[in-house]
Amino acid sequence: MERKRFETKTQMVLFFLNGSKKYFLLAIISGCLVSFMDMINPRIIGFTVDSVLGDKVTELPAVLNKMLISVGGTVWIKEHLWFMALLVVCIAALGALFRFFLNLLNAKGAEKLVHTMRNELFNHILHLPFVWHSENQTGDIIQRCTSDVEQIKIFLSEQLIFLFRIVILITFAMYFMFTINVKLTLVSSIFIPMIIGYSLFFHKGIGKSFEKVDIEEGKLSSIAQENLTGVRVVRAFGRESYERERFEAQNEHYTNMWVHLMRLLAAFWSSSDLFSYLQIFSVLCVGTVLCVNGEMSAGDFIAFNSYTTMLMWPIRNIGRVIANLAKAGISIERLMYIMNSKEEKDVEGAKDVDLHQDIAFNHVSFQYENGSAEILDDINFTIKAGTTVGILGGTGSGKSTLMYLLDRLYELPEENGSITIGGVNVRDIKLSCLRTNIGMVLQEPYLFSRTLEENIAIALPEMDREEVKRAAKIASLDHAIEHFKEGYDTYVGERGVTLSGGQKQRTAIAQMLISKPPVMVFDDSLSAVDAETDAKIRHALKENVGNSTVILIAQRITTLMNADLIVVMDHGKIVEMGKHEELIHNGGIYQQIYELQSRSASEVSK
């Protein structure tokens, strides 16, 4: 069932909170109990100073009052002062117990939240169209899934939970403060709206600055990711200095953005401290005057100051919560971009189809959504089931795009023609059916950081070693593997960095052959092997592909010359089509390329 688009940030946050809500709810309750326990002790101390050590008659909250009466009242307590000390210790111990549960439940909720966010993001990204991945930098996607996830976790598990606790703390404190002295409470309360007001003032500026910082961090991550994965190219062309300068320039820009944000936060935090200390100073001044005038007892003043000190830290942090809300809001927006990007999906009524059938391209035209020039222009030809078709063309002629449309890595708009398999439009075939039954080997294959055997059997991990060896033999990879110390257990580095270009291509060929798909596409995937190995692989393929349809895309005519049909493309159009024997006598592009390559080959052999 397709998930609905998130209309608001709250909707997405609630979606991510599935599974962790109960932990956060119990953490909030524990936080409220901690706040309540923290509020009780100042009243007990004030009561002890005024009614036990002094002669003023004061009362405690109803529950504690009944407890004191049951043990003998003020007279008994004066003779047993240890009881009040024990009561303070017990309440502090209860507060510590609830604080333990607060931290434990909050930590569980936070980790469960991150676990859910990572799983949902990763699963969603896996199902996004190939075009989406082409338009978004890998480094930026990784940064969103790490830094932004962490920012949301920090806000929800620390700031938001803390905000509930602040509200409860302020509510309890204001209640007890009003019962002690209304005038002094009003003096203290004046500063609360001031703190909230300037926090809201800074909120917008902090949010915009954090968004810029986040974007620049994504760019920095992209540069690092590109250089780490393309280190061989950087080294081969001696571009270390250029790439270092490029990284340092972006890092400098990113650092300056952070410095600007820190200046803004420094101004915000220092203002918060100023108002907080002004609040304490005002309470001390006015409270002292009230005590001198006899409007307030020493015990009440001590209790009131305790509440004011307790509130100082939470009230200061209200502003910080608001500031972090701005940061979290930006991070949520950045994750919403990913989560609201449309996944690939089957049309209603999509079906599984036997792909051992004719493939037809009917008036296919295509251009990218960014408004670039047309890549394909009115392509018409049919690939008979079980035959081998070669596609020849220069760079940018649209050869690969044609296969991406067949596999629906790119979606062909309805008005731009159709591609059918056995008369069924590929739009009406389930994606899982297409991707499972169309095997593609690209010119630049991607290998994972696993063993050679695991890479070859990646689509069918349950396949036994003998089948893996068979696929490797057809791909002419077996002899190379025999020379590896660990054989099929040889660990392949990231992106296959430990293998040569030809070995990577042959590994990718074996990877595709092991699943024996009905349609096999070789997209210039023999370009990194020598002519002798090329011929050997083609001969092995002819003997072992059975009734599969084979599509060979290449720029080397010797790779295509034995195909049942050769399609020659130029600037997105089919300019020639036929068998090798026909095309070399037509006087067209194919003949020119054939003569040029034949001449080059004879010169090399001299």
> Is 5 strand, coil or helix?
coil
Element (H, E) at 365: strand 359-366
pLDDT greater at residue 536 or residue 401: 401
pLDDT digits (tens, 9 = 90+) for 274-311: 777 787 788 888 888 888 887 877 777 777 777 777 77
pLDDT greater at residue 113 or residue 197: 113
**How far is Cα 208 from Cα 118, in angstroms, rounded to an integer?**
25
Element (H, E) at 392: strand 388-393
CA atoms within 13 A on the CB side of 349: 3
Closest CA to 111 of 218, 19, 15, 225: 19
Indicate the pLDDT class of residue 215, thresholds 50, 70 and 90.
confident
User: How large is the angle between the packed helices 161-180 and 182-189, nearest 10 degrees?
Assistant: 150
Mean pLDDT score of the chain, rounded to an integer? 81
**How far is Cα 118 from Cα 429, in angstroms, rounded to an integer?**
31
Q: Architecture of domain 9-339 in CATH? A: Up-down Bundle (1.20)
Model-wide pTM > 0.85: no
User: How large is the angle between the packed helices 240-292 and 191-229, nearest 10 degrees?
Assistant: 160
Q: Decide: 355 and 417 in contact? Cβ < 8 Å.
A: no
pLDDT digits (tens, 9 = 90+) for 53-81: 666 656 666 666 666 666 666 666 777 67
Q: Which two structure tokens, joined as six digits, stand for 335? A: 């994750």
| Cα–Cα–Cα angle for 456, 461, 464, rounded to 5 degrees | 80
Sequence-distant (6+) residues with CB within 8 A of 286 are: 183, 184, 187
Indicate the pLDDT class of residue 372, thresholds 50, 70 and 90.
low
What would you measure as the largest C-alpha separation in the chain, in angstroms? Answer: 122
**How far is Cα 548 from Cα 412, in angstroms, rounded to an integer?**
24
Order of all β-strands in the sheet with 418-421: 376-383, 359-366, 418-421, 424-425
Identify the pLDDT of residue 447: 81
Average pLDDT over residues 78-97: 81
Indicate the pLDDT class of residue 367, thresholds 50, 70 and 90.
confident
Q: Decide: 37 and 92 in contact? Cβ < 8 Å.
A: yes
> Is 157 strand, coil or helix?
helix
> Is 417 strand, coil or helix?
coil
Closest CA to 498 of 545, 451, 554: 451
Of 159-163, 251-255, 266-270, the range with the highest mean pLDDT is 251-255
User: How large is the angle between the packed helices 531-544 and 465-474, nearest 10 degrees?
Assistant: 130
Q: Decide: 343 and 127 in contact? Cβ < 8 Å.
A: yes
**How far is Cα 342 from Cα 492, in angstroms, rounded to an integer?**
34
Concatenate the DSSP letters of all residues of 302-323 into one string.
HHHHHHHHHHHHHHHHHHHHHH
Q: Which two structure tokens, joined as six digits, stand for 304? A: 């009131």
| Annotated domain spans of the chain | 9-339, 359-598
Q: Which two structure tokens, joined as six digits, stand for 488? A: 């099929």
**How far is Cα 29 from Cα 21, in angstroms, rounded to an integer?**
12
Q: Decide: 31 and 161 in contact? Cβ < 8 Å.
A: yes
Q: Decide: 547 and 572 in contact? Cβ < 8 Å.
A: no
Q: Architecture of domain 359-598 in CATH? A: 3-Layer(aba) Sandwich (3.40)
Closest CA to 206 of 156, 147, 270, 261: 261
* Helix residue ranges, H only, 48-157: 62-71, 73-79, 82-126, 130-135, 138-143, 149-154
pLDDT cut 70: percent of the chain above it = 87
**How far is Cα 310 from Cα 41, in angstroms, rounded to an integer?**
12
For the ranges 148-162, 413-427, 500-514, 525-539, which has the lowest average pLDDT? 525-539
**How far is Cα 313 from Cα 307, in angstroms, rounded to an integer?**
11
Q: Which two structure tokens, joined as six digits, stand for 429? A: 């075939």
Four-point Cα dihedral 214, 220, 223, 225, nearest 10: -70
Average pLDDT over residues 367-392: 85
Closest CA to 511 of 469, 459, 552, 554: 459
Identify the pLDDT of residue 115: 92
Residue pointed to by tokens 């002690």: 180
Q: Which two structure tokens, joined as six digits, stand for 23? A: 């932990």
Closest CA to 568 of 362, 401, 441, 397: 397
pLDDT cut 90: percent of the chain above it = 17
Average pLDDT over residues 120-146: 87
**Is a pLDDT exceeding 80 seen at residue 257?**
yes
Q: Decide: 139 and 218 in contact? Cβ < 8 Å.
A: yes
CB atoms near residue 478 (< 10 Å): 16
**Is a pLDDT exceeding 90 seen at residue 363?**
yes
Q: In this structure, are strands 565-570 and 573-578 parallel, antiparallel, or unpaired?
A: antiparallel
